[in-house]
Amino acid sequence: MKSHSFGAAALLGTAALLFSFSGCGHNQHLVSISLIPPGPVTFQGVGAAIQFKALGRYVHPPETKDITDQVQWSVDSQNLVTVTNTGLVTATSVCGSGNIMASLNAPPNYVFGTAFVTGNGIGTAACNQALLGVNISGTGTVTSPSGTINCPGICTAVFPLNSVVTLTGTPGGGATSATWTGCTASGNTCDVSLTANVTVGVTFK
């Protein structure tokens, strides 16, 4: 009898364990989407095409899946590229910039990921626009007066060619100073002359 009771208890325990794993998988939640390539991406002329992929990060249990064929694809600049429902992006202009977005309504969350894209005419007189990018080392934020740059987060943006953009660095996490490269620095601010595409670096210490 003791042996029989032990066997029944073991079966019940196994059933509970299987139910626990099944429930965990059933409640799996999508928490973020990342795009491959991640951007910024420059299209080398009209007709150039890039296949983007969407990777979803899930929890309960943790897992990363290719959800390229499940997301809704869109772009916020209709004059630069077209995007299909499978993530194939094709350039229609050499000027302009925008964000490719992959989104999915996955209750209780609405989740999306973006990748910044530009045409290869940016930075030339033909487009009269220039690309400004910011790379941060250490802890802090960098903003432009218009809020177009708000890095980390939005670290790449397009401005008028030959304009001057003043960036402001705000140290955080115990840092007290900002050291700049690629621009004319004055303390925690830096003036960027956009005679072409420019990438600025800042180190917070």
The string of pLDDT tens digits covering residues 148-192 is: 999 998 999 999 999 999 999 999 999 999 999 999 999 999 999
Residue 154 is given by DSSP the state B
Beta-sheet strand order (sheet of 49-51): 49-51, 88-91, 81-83
Enter the tokens of residue 121: 């005419």
Q: What is the mean pLDDT of the chain?
A: 88
The CATH number corresponding to 122-205 among 3.90.1720, 3.10.20, 3.30.70, 1.20.81 equals 3.10.20
The CA-CA-CA angle for residues 200, 202, 205, to 5°, reads: 175
Tell me if residue 175 falls in helix, strand or coil: coil
Q: Which residues contact 161 (CB under 8 A, 6 or more apart)?
A: 123, 124, 125, 127, 128, 129, 130, 194, 195, 196
Where in the chain are the domains? 28-121, 122-205
The CA distance from 101 to 74, in Å, is 5
Q: Is domain 28-121 classified as CATH 2.60.40.10?
A: yes
pLDDT digits (tens, 9 = 90+) for 94-108: 999 999 999 999 888
pLDDT digits (tens, 9 = 90+) for 24-80: 446 789 999 999 999 889 999 999 999 999 999 999 899 999 999 999 999 998 789
Enter the tokens of residue 166: 């003043």
Rg of the Cα atoms in the chain: 24
- In this prediction the pTM is 0.75
pLDDT surpasses 50 at 14: no
